Amino acid sequence: MIKFGQIAAMVLVAAVLSWPAVPLNAQQSSDRTRTIGKKLKCMCRGCQDTAATCYHTGAAFSGPCDTAKGMLKTIDERISKGDSDDLILQSFVQQYGQEVYIEPPHSGIGSVAWAMPTVYLLLGTGLVIFVVSRWRKRTPQTAVPSGPAAATISPEELERARRRVARETED
């Protein structure tokens, strides 16, 4: 007599053997394609991701958008033709302009974008040092007047004022 466990094992073996043989990474791009895709912004205008990491989530659609898929397909085609990485990147720059880069280039006007955080940090530090030094140079405000007005208050009047303040603030 066949037991339930044996039937379950046979069903499992049959299911595995009848499963269609599909390569796991048929939908995935090569490492070089993904490396180049990570340098390019997805130009779908719906996200700020790279072409290699564009994943729209929600409702009935979740995964790379058609624009990102097209960009990765173009990169694959250019790689199969034997183009270098720089040549592939330049073809996207010609098509979309400098905004296609996920980060600005380290030369030309892009060097300004790389330098600005350092400039802002230095200017902010200088401003803080300036303000703190101005605060430290200020003289503290005194309750007892100095100069000619101080000579008009006698020590007895000052002592009387102190006693009055002490009496009024007792609680």
Tokens of 48: 């700020």
pLDDT beneath 50: ranges in the chain: 20-28, 59
pLDDT on residue 3: 67
Residue-wise pLDDT for 105-121, tens only, equals: 777 777 788 889 999 99
Class of domain 26-100: mainly alpha
Q: What proportion of the chain, given as a percentage, has pLDDT over 70?
A: 70
pLDDT on residue 94: 92
pLDDT on residue 128: 95
Asked if 42 and 68 count as a contact pair (C-beta separation under 8 A), the reply is yes
**The residue type at 144:** V
How far is 42 from 48, CA to CA, in rounded Å?
A: 7
Q: Where are the domains of the chain?
A: 26-100
Count of alpha carbons within 13 Å of 144, Cβ hemisphere only?
A: 11
Residue-wise pLDDT for 137-146, tens only, equals: 886 665 555 6
How far is 163 from 145, CA to CA, in rounded Å?
A: 19
3-state secondary structure 86-121: HHHHHHHHHHHCHHHECCCCCCCCHHHHHHHHHHHH
Length of the chain counted residue by residue: 171
